[in-house]
Structure formats: structure tokens, C-alpha cells
Structure 1
Amino acid sequence: MLRVNAFSLSLGDKTLIDELSFEIANGQVLSIMGPSGIGKSSLLHFLSGSLSPNLHTKGEAFLNGEDLLSKSIQDRKVGLLQQMPLLFPHMSIIENLMFAIPADIHKQERTHMALNALEKLGIPDKANALPNELSGGQQARVALLRTLLSKPDYLLLDEPFSKLDPALRRDVRTFVLSEIQKANIPALLVTHDPEDAKAMEGECLTLEPLIK
């Protein structure tokens, strides 16, 4: 479970988020909506350990009862999925997948895991293709599976469907929710699109601008 207590975010003397609290159970997705500039992505950076030093925060964050904020970014075991798939353009698809798998796993087993992921996607013939040879929907699915192959303890989703056309968006949303449920980890989605939140089948919080 991912739990955040009384999270507040400010930039200078302007408060963007004031004492936000929530819990996300394993296998569930919490969606957060709100206008641009309100601090949605900064909340994700807070949880991943990559927040800009220009922003000031208060609050607590716990994963399965352990204090997240006491851990360095490399020790948080967080998965991040963003608007662009961010696949390495010079690596083949199987190389992209294998790159995410922990290095202490034998290369033969890593290859097997990557090939299984491609079978799951229905594109085993694309193992040696470069990312730009895949469709947008295929790239999005590969990016998610690459993230999950790294065995994250929790997943942060930053507008991951916004660059997809409507038909692809529906399919990729369904795939993402299914994979999160299989991985049984908590996930936090920030989005502008209420359909994204609806597709994730979990609680949705809407942030409103603060007048301060």
C-alpha cells in the first residue's frame, strides 16, 4: 500500500497543494486530476525522489509501512511511465526490455523474460526492431512492460495516454490496468482526461486551485 499524509506543495509564497492525503492499495490505481500548473506532476516527483529544489514540500509518504522519504531515489524501486514512451532509440525492442531487468539475473533468464514479454504483446517478430518501427500503441505497451520488468514496488503514471489517438488510448488503458493488477502494486495516475480516470476503475481526486 502507498500512503501519503498531509502533502503540501508550495513555490515561493504560493501554495499549490494543501494537506493532500490518500491511500492506494496493491493492484489499485488512484487518479488525480486538475488544471496545468497545480502540482500534479510535482507530486509524482515528490514520491519518486526527483522533486525540484525550487519547490517546498511538507508531508509523509509510506510504502507498505516504510518511510519513503528516508530513501534515496535509487532505493525507492519506483516505476515511472510518462507521456512519451522514452524507449532507447538506438536499442532494439528486446534490448530495451532486457535493459530494465535486474542485472543480477542471468542473461539467459533475462532474454527469456524479455521474449515472454514480447509474446504477451503479440509482437515476437519485433524483437530486433527499433522503437521507431513500432506503432504508438506498441511503443506504449513496450514501455509499460519494460517498467514492470524492473520489478518496481509502486508505479507513477504521468499523462501516459495523452499522445495516443482515441482508439489506441482505449486499448492501452485496458492493458495498463490489467498489468498493474497482475503486478499487484499500487499506482498513481495524474491526468487531464476524466476518461483516463474512469478506465482505471479506482478512486479519483480532483485538485482545485487554491486562493491564497
Structure 2
Amino acid sequence: MLKVKDLTIEPLFREVNFCVPRGEIVTLMGPSGSGKSTLFAWMVGALSDDFQAQGELWLDERRCDRLPVESRGLGILFQDALLFDHFTVGQNLLLALPERIVGRARRDAVEQALSSAGLKNHYASDPATLSGGERARVSLLRALLAEPQALLLDEPFGRLDKTLRATFRTWVFDVVRARGIPVILVTHDEEDIPPNGEVIAISRWQ
């Protein structure tokens, strides 16, 4: 379970609390500037010095907000794919693999991931040749190959057209549920909210 407890980020919001069970998706919604992306920055340990935060972040029985960035176990997916265009698709994904995976097993893991996403023949592809939907899938695969204990989705569907958005959204939700990963989704589009999913409203400190 991923839990945010008694989180106040001055001067944005105060006393935010929520829990995300494994395999569930909780949606954060609120007007622009209310602090949704800043909340994510705090969670991953990259909060700007412009803000002051008090609160706790827990993953199961482990408190994470005091840990170094690399030890928190959080993956994040943005609206932009943020692939390295001077690397191949496969090289982009190799960067995410844990160091304990060595030798041929590294390439095998990447090829298996690409195949699972319908990108079987794209290991050596130039990212610049991919469609928007393909780049989005590679970006998610890179986040998942790092074996995150929880995943933060910061408007990851925003740059996709309506049809592709629906297809990619369904695929993402199916993948994270199958893996039992707690997920927080930030979006402005109510169509992105999973059926019967919990919605947390974030509003600026008045």
C-alpha cells in the first residue's frame, strides 16, 4: 500500500491524506497550480526549495520520505515520453534495468517487455521513428523495468489523440493491476478516471 499522511506543502495545500492499495489506481484532480505535480515532486524527493513540506510517505511498512531518491522505489511517467533519441529503443530500456540483471539476461528482459507491449521488432529502432503511442508504451516499459513499488502517472495520456488515448489508458491500467502496483494518476480529463476509482480533489490553501 502507498500512503500519504498529513501532508502540507506551503503555500499550496495542507493536510492531504490518502491510501492506494496494491493494484489500485487513485486519481488526483484539481485546477492548474493547485499542487498536483508538486506533490509528485515531494514524493520522489525532488521538491523545490521554494516549498516547505511536512508529512509522511509510506510504502507498506516502510517510511520513504526520509530516504534518498534512488531508494524510494517510485516510478514516474510524464506527459512527454522523454526518451533518449541518441539511443535505440532497446538501449533506452536497458538503462532502467536493475544492476543485478547481467549479461544476456538484460537483453532478454528488454525484448520480452517489448513483445508484451506489441513492439517485438523495435529493439534496434530509432525512437524518432516511433509513433506517439509507441513512444508512450516504451516510456511506460522503461518505468516498469526499473521494478517500482509504486507508480506515479503525471498526465501521461495528454498528448495522445482520443482513440489512442483510450487504448493506451486501458493497456496501462491492465498492466499495473496485473502487477499489483499502487498507482496515483494526475489528470484533468474525467474520462481517464478508472471505473469506480477513487478521486482525490486537490485545492490551493485558502
Report matched runs for 1:62-81 at 5 Å: 62-81=58-77
| 2:53 counterpart SS class | strand
CA distance in 2, matches of 1:123, 1:154: 24
AA of the residue aligned to 2:191: E
Does structure 1 residue 45 correspond to structure 2 residue 68? Answer: no
Report matched runs for 1:167-182 at 5 Å: 167-182=163-178
Gap regions ≥5 residues in structure 2: none
2:131 aligns with 135
4+ runs of 1 displaced by more than 6 Å?
A: none
| 2:121 counterpart SS class | helix
The percentage of counterpart residues that share the same residue type is: 38
1:206 aligns with 201
> Cα distance, 1:156 vs. partner?
0.8
Gap regions ≥5 residues in structure 1: none
> Cα distance, 1:190 vs. partner?
1.0
1:10 aligns with 10
> Cα distance, 1:202 vs. partner?
2.1
Question: Is the 8 Å Cα contact of residues 141 and 175 (structure 1) preserved in structure 2?
Answer: no
Does structure 1 residue 22 correspond to structure 2 residue 1? Answer: no
| 2:75 counterpart SS class | strand
> Cα distance, 1:207 vs. partner?
2.0
1:90 aligns with 86
RMSD: 1.2
> Cα distance, 1:160 vs. partner?
0.6
Single out whichever of 165-174 and 183-192 deviates more from structure 2. 183-192
CA distance in 2, matches of 1:168, 1:107: 36
> Cα distance, 1:107 vs. partner?
2.3
Single out whichever of 123-132 and 26-35 deviates more from structure 2. 123-132
Report matched runs for 1:147-166 at 5 Å: 147-166=143-162
